[in-house]
Amino acid sequence: MTSLTFTDRAQEMVRTFLDQSEGELQALRIQVNGGSPLAPAFDLSLVTDDDLDPDDVSVEAGGFRVLLDPKSAQRLEGAVVDFVQRVNESGFEITPAAPTNGVEAPMGALADRVQEILDQQVNPSIASHGGRIDLVEVDETDIYIEMSGGCQGCAMSRATLRQGVEKMLRKAIPEITEIHDVTNHAAGQNPYFSA
């Protein structure tokens, strides 16, 4: 059974949208459509009972049903769904559960080579700024990294990644196609440079 939490505001908005459909739509479907383990991307849509797939996981959430394909159900375990309103945007926001210490490090030849570069070249260089970069996921030839310490929230983190780390990794491992930064920079508590 998937554990998924909707804030009161998110529940209210889903029920409002369902009510506006005058009974035509009966459930909310949430589907993973990319991203990484720390920053997944999702699609949310209202659906009818005809859209139910036999493999779907069904979750009750505050007076309405949520439908998830098995992969999405696994990625959403422990996630929180909120409805946010900011200056220039509003909409649903899904925050995945924080990884636990039991999360396994990426494995495989590419992961081993990336980790070696991070351990031997990158992290010793940024340690003087109190920073660290970890490999969190490998998807074929795409890699996902997370910055912490002085790099998390640092105004120079993008430059560090693109002009330093990415160049080192691409020179040593040319088959890497994309390097994704999944750091929650807004949560940085002690950035080396502040904007």
Structural domain 4-95, CATH architecture = Sandwich (2.60)
According to DSSP, the residues that pair with 84 across neighbouring strands are 91
Summarised one tens digit per residue, pLDDT across range 148-171 is 887 777 777 888 888 888 899 999
For the whole model, what pTM was predicted? Answer: 0.54
Placement of tokens 């508590």 in the chain: 189
Task: Name which residue leads in pLDDT, 86 or 175.
Answer: 175
pLDDT, tens digit, 9 for 90 and up, residues 71-114: 888 878 888 888 888 777 788 888 777 554 445 667 889 999 99
Strands 65-68 and 27-35: parallel
**What pLDDT is recorded for position 78?**
81
- Residue 3 tokens, joined: 């554990």
Q: What is the pLDDT of residues 115-151, one digit of tens each?
A: 999 888 888 888 777 788 888 888 889 998 888 887 7
On whether the CB atoms of residues 140 and 126 are closer than 8 A, the answer is no
Q: So what's the pLDDT on residue 86?
A: 76
For 33-53, write each residue's pLDDT tens digit: 766 655 667 888 888 878 888
Which has more confidence, 191 or 134? 134
Q: What is the pLDDT of residue 192?
A: 66
- Token reading at 29: 């479907």
* Phi-psi label, residue 64: left if phi above 0, alpha if psi -120 to 50, beta otherwise: beta
Query: Residue 98 has what pLDDT?
Result: 58
The span from the first CA to the last CA of the chain, in angstroms, equals 43
Helices (H), the chain: 8-20, 70-75, 109-117, 123-126, 157-159, 166-172
Q: Which of 117, 123, 120, 114 is nearest to 151 (CA)?
A: 123
Amino acid in the structure at residue 115: Q
Q: What CATH code would you report for 109-187?
A: 3.30.300.130
> Which among 118, 107, 91, 92 has a CA at the least distance from the CA of 173?
118
pLDDT of residue 128: 75
Domain range list for the chain: 4-95, 109-187
Tokens 């945007």, residue located: 89
Name which of 184, 178, 185 is nearest 143 in CA terms.
178
